[in-house]
Structure 1
Amino acid sequence: MIEESGRVVALAPGAVWVETERHSTCSGCSVRSGCGHGLVERLGIRERRGLILAVSDLRLSVGDTVVVGIRESVLLRGALLVYLFPLIMLFTSAVVASELSAAEPYVMLAGLGGFLVAWLVVRKRSQQTAVDPALQPIILRASMTVAMV
């Protein structure tokens, strides 16, 4: 289970909205001085807080510090679907077009078409699973740590 601490900012039926602080690894990276992400981090341009709707059966109130968890398998399957599946579709459709002796512009269009189809599949799948409680973050426990600033 992957865990993250946060603070309850709103209540919903059977769930709570939790504000978490996003952490960066820029302080430990050896190329942070030449990285665009590191520059954005130093300037403070990027929003540092995120909101998560987490399923909860605990009696919580606004301001409580909690620990939110999500199963590793859910995160891994989601990452594969969102990142790897579109790339596989892009390359597969381009290779198929190339093997059919299509001209280069058509191979490129086939690759983009495969990527678009994968994007539509990912979008449809995410809409279908958005309400599946087995795939949602959950409140593991109320924490006794000091609330985030």
Structure 2
Amino acid sequence: MIEETATVVDATDDYIWVEAKARSACSTCGSQSGCSTSSLSKLFGVRQQHIRLPNTLGSHAGEQVVIGVEDQVMVTASLAAYILPVVLMIASAIAADSAGLSDQQSAASALAGLLAGLLGAGFLTASYRMKRYFQPQLLRKADAFSLRPIEFQPFQGDQP
């Protein structure tokens, strides 16, 4: 289970709207000062996402909650977003090449396969059933213990 702490921004008896900040991996990297990816991340800023979830814990606005997504859901989403378009691109390029088309036509066919894969991934993840599958779950209210940062000590060798 992949977990993230979110803030409840609005609440009713049935639903809550939580805000989770999308962080880039650059926020934890040690070489941020000389990295162009880090510069781009700072330029475009941090996106905030509002997600509606069933209010199963009786949460109120301003509270911190922990939301989570099953590992298998992340694998499925990754396959749909990354693998499907690439597989369709390669398959259409191979089909065009085996049909004896020119290089330009094979490239156009590969591009069409990539676009078809991207559209297919969008349709696959946009259906009502899949939206429910991909939706995070409200796990628990966050407390001071679950929000405490973990501090790692440097390795001291084999000595206790």
Q: What is the TM-score when the length of structure 2 is the normalising length?
A: 0.77
2:152 equivalent in structure 1 = none
Contact 1:86 1:118 in 2 (8 A): yes
Question: How many residue pairs align between the two structures?
Answer: 146
1:90-122 deviation digits (Å, cap 9, x = unpaired): 111011111221101110111111112212211
**Letter of the 2:142 counterpart:** S
Contact 1:5 1:67 in 2 (8 A): yes
Shift of 1:39: 1.0
2:109 equivalent in structure 1 = 110
Superposition map of 1:64-75 within 5 A: 64-75=63-74
2: distance between equivalents of 1:131 and 1:88?
21
Contact 2:69 2:137 in 1 (8 A): yes
Shift of 1:6: 1.0
**Letter of the 2:40 counterpart:** V
2:32 equivalent in structure 1 = 32
1: distance between equivalents of 2:132 and 2:12?
14
Q: Tell me, yes or no, if structure 1 residue 15 matches structure 2 residue 12.
A: no
Shift of 1:13: 7.1
Give aligned-pair identity as a percent: 26
2: distance between equivalents of 1:134 and 1:121?
17
Mark the CA change 1:134 to 1:15 in structure 2 (over 3 Å): closer, same or farther.
Answer: farther
**Alignment root-mean-square deviation, CA:** 2.6
Mark the CA change 1:110 to 1:131 in structure 2 (over 3 Å): closer, same or farther.
Answer: closer
2: distance between equivalents of 1:136 and 1:31?
34
1:57 equivalent in structure 2 = 56
1: distance between equivalents of 2:108 and 2:34?
35
Q: Which structure has the bigger radius of gyration? A: 2
2: distance between equivalents of 1:66 and 1:110?
47
In structure 1, stretches of 5+ residues that fail to align are none
Contact 1:55 1:137 in 2 (8 A): no
Q: What is the TM-score when the length of structure 1 is the normalising length?
A: 0.82
Of 53-62 and 90-99, more deviation after overlay is shown by: 53-62
Q: Tell me, yes or no, if structure 1 residue 126 matches structure 2 residue 125.
A: yes
